[in-house]
Amino acid sequence: MGLISAGATIFDNGVLNHGKMTFIKKLTASSSANLTFVDGASSVVLDGTFKEYMFTFKNIHPASNNVSFQVNFRDGSTAYDAPKIATFFDAFHQENGSDSGLRYDAGGNTFDAPGTGVQVLNYNMGAENDGNLGGYLTLVNPASTTFQKMYSSSINYQYLNTYSIKTHADGYCNTAAAIDGVQFTFSSGAIAAGDICLYGISG
């Protein structure tokens, strides 16, 4: 049953037609080599349905020590290799209080100029039992076939059991091709645990 008011469809086919933040998909890691969201697979929506998508990270925990959490995007093939240009900076504070600051961090050109490689979202993450990361990544209008695809992430985590670090990785996929898949990995080893949720921002 649908409901139409003043010519506007309020709900139909079990879907409420209203601007909002809509939960799409949750993937839970369990010693997973990667967590991958592909439009049309396993109920994932990553197309022109929404103009903005948000991934949230909760208690992401690596299997290996001293690793980076990273993302890549696919732009027309099955490979996750969309060309990117980015910026990366972080605020840091050591647990013993002896060191803190704000810095632009190119990571030897790997953090801010990934090319078709992965976009690093954090670095030197430890695998101690209580270590984890949290944050988000937004992706604007990935289905556009005109514009570059802007993305922006912010992550909090513990650096090798010694620092609290807040990273900001922002950039764009320098392609007019649509992005229809997003893949998260660690630089080495599996994603031992944690949730990634995908939301669409409608309107």
Partner 1 sequence: MAVISNTTTIIDAGAISPATAGSMNLIKSITASSSGTITFTHGDNGVIFDGTYDVYVFKFINLHPQNENVDFHFQVDTGTNSNFNQPIVSGATIPYHNEADNASGLDYGTDMSQVGTAFQGLLDNASPTGNDSNGGGSLTFYSPSSDTFVKLFAAQMFGQGHGDYFAAYKTSGYVNTATALTKVRFKYAGGNIDSGEIKLYGVKG
Span interacting with partner 1, options 11-19, 25-33, 37-45, 71-79, rule CB under 8 A: 11-19
- Nearest CB to partner 1, comparing residues 66 and 116: 116
Give residues with Cβ within 8 angstroms of 162, minimum separation 6: 94, 95, 96
Strand partners, 102: 91
Strand partners, 69: 186
152 near partner 1, judged by CB under 8 A: yes
C-beta atoms surrounding 68 within 10 Å: 21
- Rounded to the nearest 5°, which phi and psi values hold at 122? -155, -175
Reading the block at residue 165, the tokens are 């670090």
54 near partner 1, judged by CB under 8 A: no
78 near partner 1, judged by CB under 8 A: no
Give residues with Cβ within 8 angstroms of 115, minimum separation 6: 83, 84
Do residues 197 and 29 lie in contact, with contact meaning Cβ atoms separated by under 8 Å?
Answer: no
- Nearest CB to partner 1, comparing residues 25 and 51: 51
103 near partner 1, judged by CB under 8 A: yes
- Nearest CB to partner 1, comparing residues 66 and 148: 148
State in angstroms the smallest separation of the CB of 101 from partner 1: 11
Residues 160-179: x where in contact with partner 1 by CB under 8 A, - otherwise, as a string: --------x-xxx-x-x---
Count of residues in contact with partner 1, rule CB under 8 A: 43
Determine if residue 16 is left, alpha or beta; phi over 0 gives left, psi from -120 to 50 gives alpha, anything else beta: beta
75 near partner 1, judged by CB under 8 A: no
> How many degrees, rounded to 5, is the angle at CA 61 between CA 56 and CA 65?
135
Chain residues binding partner 1 by CB under 8 A are: 3-8, 10, 16, 18-21, 51-52, 85-89, 102-104, 106, 109, 112-113, 140-141, 144, 146-148, 150, 152, 168, 170-172, 174, 176, 201-203
